[in-house]
A and B are shown apart, each in its own frame.
Chain A
Amino acid sequence: DAGVIQSPRHEVTEMGQEVTLRCKPISGHDYLFWYRQTMMRGLELLIYFNNNVPIDDSGMPEDRFSAKMPNASFSTLKIQPSEPRDSAVYFCASSSQGAWNEQFFGPGTRLTVL
């Protein structure tokens, strides 16, 4: 079975541009999480979904960030407009055991905003 799939793996964009990150969770998993990892702040939870419904978006930094999960097999994280401080590695993870049990992480998307 394929693991969590993320695309693109690397994204370089200029400040002010819109960025869309994509995630396909493991089939059958009903929880999906978006995290951001930086050297300064470590790994931060941005938002998570249960059965395609956003449960907790308190970690979303500001209105420039939005996330959607239109169906059980696809989610997007959008940044519009992007800023250099958004540069980070963004991970998607999924789980079938709830929000506080084992999570399966994707390989991440390394975002660089110039």
Chain B
Amino acid sequence: SQQGEEDPQALSIQEGENATMNCSYKTSINNLQWYRQNSGRGLVHLILIRSNEREKHSGRLRVTLDTSKKSSSLLITASRAADTASYFCATALGDSGAGSYQLTFGKGTKLSVIP
């Protein structure tokens, strides 16, 4: 089953507006990451927030993490047409007993920024 679930599934905004996407997950995590995928391309890493952090900024991106609610949000300020893409959250889980760790991706939020 999917660990991270993004909300909304699709979002359409005007250029210059802010875009907020949310991610909820089910189990304890080591970190949470956000990736962007342009149509027909691979995923590109945007930002990583660790479980002991609450907020992180990178340029026009702001990510928050609430481990008590098992949720995260990605805010893109002053959106541009070039921000049009799908955005995925990925939760990092580890099984120290099995020595296996992995990222589990949600199904994404499709953001359309209208010029």
Give A residues with C-beta under 8 Å from B.
4, 42-43, 45, 48, 55-56, 58, 91, 93, 98-108
Contact = CB atoms under 8 A, between A and B. Distances in A.
7 contacts: A42-B2, A43-B43, A98-B101, A99-B100, A99-B103, A102-B33, A102-B48
Interface of B: 2, 30-31, 33, 35, 41-45, 48, 88, 92-94, 98-108
Contact of A105 (B42, B48, B99, B106): B42
Given A48-B102, A55-B99, A55-B100, A104 B45 contact: yes
Nearest to A3: B42
B95 to A, nearest CB: 9
Given A42-B107, A45-B103, A55-B100, A103 B88 contact: no
Given A43-B88, A108-B41, 11 more contacts: A42-B105, A48-B102, A56-B98, A56-B102, A93-B42, A99-B100, A99-B103, A100-B31, A100-B103, A101-B48, A105-B44
B102 A100 contact: yes
A111 to B, nearest CB: 14
A100 B42 contact: no
Contact of B42 (A42, A55, A56, A107): A107
Contact of B45 (A58, A91, A103): A103
